[in-house]
Amino acid sequence: MSFVEYGDTIKDGDTAIVFLGHESMFPVKVQHGTVTQTKYGVIRHSTDLIGKKYGSKVTCSKGGWVFILHPTPELWTMNLPHRTQILYSTDISIITMMLELKPGSIVCESGTGSGSLSHALIRTVAPTGHLYTVEFHQQRAEKAREEFREHGVEHLVTVTNQDVCKNGFGVSNVADAVFLDIPSPWEAIGHAKSALKAEGGRICSFSPCIEQVQRTCLAMEEYGFTEINTLEILLRVYNVRTISLQIPDLGKAAEDNSSAGFDSSNPSNQGSPCANLQQGAVQFKSGVPLREMVGHTGYLTFATKS
């Protein structure tokens, strides 16, 4: 199993996603002799998972069932254990595009955090690219190494435990792109410039506060970056539901119905528009935004090395 290569069969040691519903799923490490409890009953790894195909429908001990999905960066972002605040698909998608990433790209990242963006970057630059990720916190760095190894992507990523603001990324003049998600990104702009290739490399800084953005933009100008641009991505989700609205009585419809001999008791007329007009209301499908939704996550500042 690898997050960048699809495998058909569930194997011992794989990370799989147990899918109970769109709002309910969780990761599980498949191990011989282990069981996983769900609200539908027990899943026995040895008999229910190992050797089965990804996407299989598995019946639990209580008679309910779940799907077992192959892990992807998108599913991992939704289910990973949170060691820090993470980036979600909304911001990740624009980051990978605006940094102009592709297979073979070399990317530097700080900090690693919970590895949400890291997995997406690895999948984007695979199979010949590489991610150099720096994490200040030692335990988080060790946990990230362990996860990358378990997910079959350790050959595509190098995890370094150090302070990027003082010691940089550990590479020079090789990166196609640099991503910063740290409290004081302006202190790392010089190291980012040193890590980027000689000309044309891209940089992105993620900051939740506009004061951080202002200081970062000033530092980018000081180090000669061009095309500095800050944006914010907001996700707005819609629910599709059936609503009923009253039809205004303008008089003419009622007269037309009576003159045409319209019979509302006739079953053949019950579903017609005229029947709805006779009842004074009509039902239809409508998209309605959620009353509560994720608002501001952070500002994304992009620039190009001149």
- State yes or no: 135 annotated in a binding site: yes
Give the angle 159-162-167 at the CA atoms, nearest 5°: 115
Tokens 């003049």, located at residue: 173
Pick from 133, 123, 127, 120: nearest CA to 104: 127
- State yes or no: 117 annotated in a binding site: yes
**Contact criterion met (CB below 8 Å) for 26 and 68:** no
Sequence-ordered list of residues with C-beta below 8 angstroms from that of 248, at least 6 positions apart, any chain: none
Pick from 176, 221, 185: nearest CA to 206: 185
- State yes or no: 181 annotated in a binding site: yes
Q: Where are the alpha helices (DSSP H) in 107-234?
A: 116-125, 138-150, 164-167, 189-195, 210-222
DSSP 270: T
Residues at the binding site are 114-117, 135, 163, 181
Residues at the binding site for S-adenosyl-L-methionine are 114-117, 135, 163, 181
